[in-house]
Amino acid sequence: QVQLVESGGGLVQPGGSLRLSCAASGFSTIGYAIGWFRQAPGKERERVSCMSSHDGSTYYLDSVKGRFTISRDNSKNKMYLQMNNLKPEDSAVYYCAAERLALSCNVYSPLEYGFWGQGTQVTVSS
């Protein structure tokens, strides 16, 4: 069964950190671009970060630059999102995604990613 499963979400105080993990099963993510997206209530799903497969280049949403770091471990078929100095506006459901993308990952809309996790809630609140 092909699936992505996120973990690591939760409730954290402003300024805190969380590390999201995403485990792929049923397929190898080698050669796939990976991405982390988030969706807050009443808002559209937005790309937080992604990593291209052809050169490993990364992209970050402006509001998370310097605070979030995307990474992958192909040997474990996992991807990660390290989130530091979290802010209340980071609260959302976070999703991991993967797809075979020929170009840099940031030029593709969420709709062009074919593999998605079920989402994990991140709440930043005091």
Q: pLDDT band for position 41 (50/70/90)?
A: very high
Please say if the pLDDT value at position 1 is more than 90: no
Residue 110, phi then psi, degrees to nearest 5: -55, -30
Q: pLDDT band for position 90 (50/70/90)?
A: very high
Determine how β-strand 58-60 pairs with β-strand 3-7. Answer: unpaired
User: Mean pLDDT throughout 31-52?
Assistant: 96
| Contact assessment for residue 5 and residue 76, using Cβ atoms and an 8 Å cutoff | no
Query: Which residues does 28 contact at the CB level (< 8 Å), separation at least 6?
Result: 74, 77
Summarised one tens digit per residue, pLDDT across range 52-75 is 998 999 999 999 999 999 999 999
Please say if the pLDDT value at position 121 is more than 90: yes
User: Mean pLDDT throughout 25-50?
Assistant: 95
| pLDDT at residue 102, rounded to an integer | 87
